[in-house]
Chain A
Amino acid sequence: EVQLLESGGGLVQPGGSLRLSCAASGFTFSNYAMSWVRQAPGKGLEWVSSISSGGSTYYADSVKGRFTISRDNSKNTVYVQMSSLRAEDTAVYYCANSRITGTTGEDFDYWGQGTLVTVSS
């Protein structure tokens, strides 16, 4: 059974930093692209970033230069390091794996339960 478990969310001040983690199990993690998708309170879904199985990274313009996605295949974990956080980054952050191997993370198969990031003073 595929499981994705996010952690690391919380309250952070504007301009601060936070690192989210997503621990994966139930599939061969190293073969699949992984992604982060967020949802602001009461709003729709927004793709944030993806990392391919080979380590290529992709970002939404809204987070480029501030967020860094990475993966540790030995720990079956994907991370997103978030810095220079803004109020508009407040959202539930979900991690998701890709549907098939060898992609760049363009679709979102299994999702975690999400972790809430609140940026406020």
Chain B
Amino acid sequence: DIQMTQSPSSLSASVGDRVIITCRASQSISSHLNWYQQKPGKAPKFLIYAASSLQRGVPSRFSGSGSGTDFTLSISGLQPEDFATYYCQQSYSTPYTFGQGTKLEIK
């Protein structure tokens, strides 16, 4: 199975900041990497597919990059609604595995 490791596990930031969350795969997954946002008590929301493509309706302050084993999710100009938990997920092969999550909290 492909292991997905996110860092950091938690992160404190202020409104207006730029943050970067990293995700590392245990083997190369090309660009088969997706990102999701989850708020407490809610279903996840699909943010980015194929490592860098924004899903419909996702604000342009979100961006993704990377290929192979190393990926990043960047959020520029943090907004209050961005404080949530973020998960990466590899779509290269079954079992489709998620990272453990990164909780983004307000400083």
| Interface residues contributed by chain A, number (CB under 8 Å) | 22
**A112 B43 Cβ-Cβ under 8 A:** yes
Residue pair B43, A99 in contact (C-beta under 8 Å): no
Shortest Cβ distance from residue A45 to the other chain B in the assembled complex, whole angstroms: 5
| Interface 0/1 of B78-103, CB less than 8 Å to A | 00000000010101101111111100
Q: Counting CB contacts under 8 A, is A60 at the interface?
A: yes
| B-side contacts of A37, CB under 8 Å | 44
Contact B44 A107 (CB under 8 A): no
Proximity bits, A89-105, B CB within 8 Å = 1, else 0: 00000100001000011
CB distance from A88 to the nearest CB of B (A): 16
Are A45 and B95 interface neighbours, CB within 8 A?
no
Q: Which of B45, B92, B94, B98 contacts A46 (CB 8 A)?
A: B98
- Whether the pair B98, A47 counts as a contact (CB closer than 8 A) is yes
B55 proximity list for chain A (CB < 8 A): 99, 109
- What is the interface of chain A mostly: helix, strand, loop, or mixed? loop
User: In terms of DSSP, what is the predominant structure of the interface of chain B?
Assistant: loop
Q: Are B44 and A45 in contact (CB under 8 A)?
A: yes
Residues of B close to A50: CB separation below 8 A:
94, 96
Q: Which residues of B contact A106 (CB under 8 A)?
A: 32, 91-92, 94, 96
Q: In B19-51, which residues have CB < 8 Å from any A CB?
A: 32, 34, 36, 38, 43-46, 49
Q: Which residue in B32, B43, B95 is a CB contact (below 8 Å) of A47?
A: B95
Nearest residue in A to B45 (C-beta to C-beta)? A111
Closest-by-CB residue of A relative to B94 is A58
Given known pairs A58-B94, A94-B43, A99-B46, the reply for A108 and B36 (CB within 8 Å) is yes
Can you spell out 9 A-B residue pairs with CB atoms less than 8 angstroms apart? A44-B87, A44-B98, A46-B98, A47-B89, A47-B97, A61-B95, A99-B46, A107-B89, A111-B46
Task: Report A's interface with B, CB cutoff 8 A.
Answer: 37, 44-47, 50, 58, 60-61, 94, 99, 104-114
Ranked nearest first, the 5 interchain pairs of A and B with the lowest CB-CB distance are A106-B91, A111-B43, A47-B96, A45-B98, A44-B101
